[in-house]
Structure 1
Amino acid sequence: MHYSQCMPGTATTTPPSTTPRTTTPSTTPTGTPTGTPTTTVPVTTTAAAGYPGATLQNGYYWIRAVESPNFHSYLQSKPTKAAGPALLADRTTAGQFNVVSGQLVQLVAPSTLLYGNVSPPANSSVAKLALTFSTTQNTFGTFAFSGDALTWSVSSINRPNLSAWLVCDAQTLWINLGPYAYNTPPGCVDETIHYFNGATVD
């Protein structure tokens, strides 16, 4: 099993040896994805409570930090597999993700997704934006992988580093609108987060 990850520091990330698999899933008339990013989610008898499980599902990735103090803390929602704030937290509750048509999607049950949502800043002095997970698609900005780093961008905000994130109180994950590792907001630490395609977390 091959996997890849990058170390933090700049907006430009060296492409990994394994390129994320990206194909657009089929959609309903409302535009809600009904399949995985690479294949249709197979029918399974596994109860939703135990899905997607501790083994990576086809077409999805773990997403984690690779620097201290959150080394190998994994992206997930709180409550686990439910709508709520995004966290970088313990590997045992890691979520499974991909980016599909600019949406950050979390697989929570067969053919069921949550979407990473970002709200516009209240004013120009805002230094960070919260990432939350919702049953509705995001309407503000676009998620993408740059190499293996997760990025977010929007035309109305000029970010110095599209892959700059912050982990703040209670391990909540925020988009850093300022430079990486400069004027870090109180109570937060700078991070970049990267996909990992190993079969299990480590």
Structure 2
Amino acid sequence: MDVTRRKIVQSLAAGVAAAVSGPTRAAFPSTIDDPPTNTSTVPQPIEGHLGADDPGPRNVILDRLNPDMLTPPPTDAGNMPNLKFSFSNVPMRLTEGGWARQVTQVDLPIATSIAGVDMRLKPGAIRELHWHPVAEWAYMLVGTAQVTCLDPQGRNFVGNVGVGDLWYFPPGYPHSIQALEEGCEFLLAFDSGNFS
């Protein structure tokens, strides 16, 4: 049997398309801006002859983003832990220089080896020189920043990063991040689920 990645991807795509377009799937609107009172666009926990409508109160936008929570596939035994948690579900820490919000193992118990922070800095704002006992990876989402880092031998690094760029600071290395003209937003990942 000649199995290729292309054939596997084509088969998966066809299966997903059939599952989503099947006649027994809940109806979903083309946008999340449709009013939740329109019963033709509100997804319901109904699959064929199984389930019943949910009159609410409920978070319709969240239901639209997670249709398999309302109508799980028949192969779902219900014992898979949650593998996602939205930054939109955690409070922001507001400062004069911007904001930050984090997701740790407290929010997402499966995340034992990673914690994340979404951070925004205003133009010129700086995340002052600091260090921590865990490694830090980052991905730039918006704008530009200047990063600095010192190593144990006293050498320093200064560089500018922009959208799509990455950086890495090993555990214990002092570093800082300063937003440039237009400000910036970036995702940080730390190699400990409990790091805050």
Q: Which has the higher helix share?
A: 2
* Structure with greater Cα Rg: 2
Which band: TM-score by shorter chain?
A: under 0.3
Higher-RCO chain (CA-CA 8 Å, sequence separation at least 6): 1
